[in-house]
Amino acid sequence: MTPRSLQDDLKQNKPWCCLEEEATLNIARTAAVLEHALVQALKPFDITPTQYNVLRILRGAGADGLCRNEVGERLVRRVPDVTRLLDRMEETGLLARVRDGDDRRYVTARISPQGLALLERLDQEILRIHRRQLGHVDGKHLKQLIDLLTSVRSGVEG
């Protein structure tokens, strides 16, 4: 199957104004296509991709957990109100928060057993999605793509 260009995909008749515009729109369109599959996989579990991301972050943090700011800094997609996000997740039992004994303002979030169990149920399905989406691209090209995207981000964030 021959890949369709972004212009064909979006039924765009006019040429892009520049390569940077075409590249930016390609990144955005590809991200939207990839994320749609994740959204669909998470829907039966009543969580969003951002909540899934928080669970993965907290699982990686282990028993020490993380404070709200640390969670926010590690999110793939930044959100304006991490506190409210964590509130909702705590209400559903996916995480627990505890105040530090010395500084009562410092609150640590930890993944709950329920959150861990949910991730364990999702791990293989999410891996299948990633492989279905990118398995046709060989390792050399995937590494090249990773390096290119890293270069783009460093030029924007730096």
Strands 66-67 and 107-111: antiparallel
45-67 pLDDT, tens per residue?
999 999 999 999 999 999 999 99
- Determine the Cα–Cα distance for residues 40 and 18; give it in Å rounded to an integer: 34
**Tokens encoding 65:** 């957990």
Q: Can you tell me whether residue 23 is helix, strand or coil?
A: helix
103-157 pLDDT, tens per residue?
667 789 999 999 999 999 999 999 999 999 999 999 999 999 999 999 998 988 7
Fold annotation for 17-144: Arc Repressor Mutant, subunit A (1.10.10)
**Tokens encoding 67:** 């404070």
Sheet holding 66-67, edge to edge: 66-67, 107-111, 95-99
